[in-house]
Structure 1
Amino acid sequence: MSLPRRALISITSAHGTLFEGKETTGLFISEALHPYSVLRAAGFEVDLASETGTYTPDWLSTQPDFLNGEDLDIWNNAKSEFRMKLDNMTKAADLDGNAYGLFYASAGHAALIDYPTASSLQRIAAQVWANGGVVSSVCHGPALFANLIDHNTNEPLIKNKRITGFTTEAESSLGIMDELRSWGAEMVEETAIRLGATCELFTLSSIHDPAIAWWVSSSDLTLKTDVRAPGIWDDFHVVDGRLVTGQNPASATSTAQAAVEAFDSAFSMVF
């Protein structure tokens, strides 16, 4: 079947406090803005949706190190195409997965709260996948995979697939692990291992984390460390067929570019 050149960028609708309760986490702005820009430049129609139709900006993502230049101008312009779509989002429940050929899960730490049970977003992503489209995520976006099933196999979509995402080492470096654990949140690495994904997302030092060591030792997976970013904040993404994942905010653009390439490859195979 022909794949619609239309993409959905999922947005976390959750929010929480981090950094000793001083700051609010929500959508990491560049993780939605950068793929939006890439997809529009590649000729895609792009929609944004969250589970509730609402969002909260992540405080850290609005700081100058992460939001500056043209990105800041777009964010500050309430009439920019991106802001108009973001501020007037549709609830995911109101959308038809058949309308999309590409799904991109943006994130922010808050995605650890709502993505695992975001059934409407998961329904859309599963339909895109079942139709032969591309499913992609960045940073904490793989939290959506927690209950995302491949209709063809009735297995987790990421089972036996290579993925990357925000590392537990990076969480620890921010000094926020206790707060994340207080949410009852499962880390991206833990989700990957539990669902049987291969472990290219790990950095060498992350296996020294007792929690991660337990997950590895209790699984039958082989830890792979030869395919990873040189540093936890470096731009890095992994492509496994129609599944494309990025490690961190710096990877949002390259992940979207790789997702477009995967889409074009899948689309060309239709003919």
Structure 2
Amino acid sequence: MTKALIVVTNTAKLPTINRATGLWLSEATHFNKVMKDNNIDVDYVSPNGGYVPIDPGSLAPDSMDETNWSFYNEEKYRDQVLGQSPSAKQVDPKNYDIIYFAGGHGVMWDFPENKTLGEIAKTIYDRGGIVSAVCHGVVGLLSMKDNEGNSWINGKNLTGFTNEEEDINKLTDAVPFLTEEALKNAGANHTKTAAYTENVVADGRLVTGQNPQSAHGVGEAVIDLLA
């Protein structure tokens, strides 16, 4: 049976300023729903395991659509899936055909340098699986190395949260680096569309989305690849 692994953050607060952060809920739920609608089992994992915080902004009334509410209203999803997530070290990548890095600003502190997550993603890919990510979650790809120890995304076509979108967020000076710049510095071919409009880029078995608006589209592109 095809199975997907959704990677989420443990970071609950921006270390640089007094602002709560965490998983941007729709980036997990919208992808998860596409998998569910296509009978693909989904597990969640976080770098350290345990509690997965949700960014308060993603729970605002204008962000909570039917899909978000359907997951958030489920006690098991809140208390077990997000409340008691396994750690990266507890995951066997051989059990998965798809890995998906969800975003939220917190990932910028616990995704890029996590070698275990990078190894999980690389193993899934090398076994013929799909690597996918959205928004800030694409910084999880920075943890992936090729067989020579170099950046795995070097030369690959992808997208991710843009400098313009971060500026609109007014968090350019609060994040440790800019997602777009980090991807380019790692050798990736980063492409983008207008701020906060859907943009999905597929390069073989690598699928990325630019922003929260792209999470559903990333899921659909993953399903297309499976077909």
Q: Tell whether the structures are fold-level matches, with TM greater than 0.5.
A: yes
Match of 2:34 among 15, 35, 38: 38
The aligned counterpart of 1:162 is: 157
- Alpha-carbon separation, structure 1, partners of 2:129 and 2:70: 32
Measured on the aligned residues, the alpha-carbon RMSD in Å equals 1.9
Alignment check: 8 A CA contact 2:142 2:153 kept: no
Gaps of 5+ in 2: none
- Alpha-carbon separation, structure 2, partners of 1:70 and 1:250: 13
Runs ≥4 residues deviating over 6 A:
none
The aligned counterpart of 1:179 is: 174
Match of 2:220 among 254, 257, 263: 257
Query: Aligned partner of 1:127: which letter?
Result: T
Alignment check: 8 A CA contact 2:25 2:68 kept: no
* Alignment of 1:140 onto 2:136: yes
The aligned counterpart of 1:127 is: 123
% of aligned pairs identical?
Answer: 31
Gaps of 5+ in 1: 201-227, 265-271
What do the CA deviations read for 1:142-195 (whole angstroms, capped 9, x no partner)?
A: 1112221133x5432211111100001111111111222xxxx22211221111
The aligned counterpart of 2:91 is: 95
The aligned counterpart of 1:197 is: 188
Alignment check: 8 A CA contact 1:48 1:85 kept: yes
1:116 is paired with a residue of what secondary structure?
A: coil
- Alpha-carbon separation, structure 2, partners of 1:197 and 1:17: 26
What do the CA deviations read for 1:202-244 (whole angstroms, capped 9, x no partner)?
A: xxxxxxxxxxxxxxxxxxxxxxxxxx32x21011110000000
TM-score (norm 2): 0.92
Match of 1:55 among 38, 52, 55: 52
Q: How many residues align?
A: 226
Alignment check: 8 A CA contact 1:7 1:103 kept: yes
Structure of higher CA gyration radius: 1
Match of 1:75 among 44, 66, 72: 72
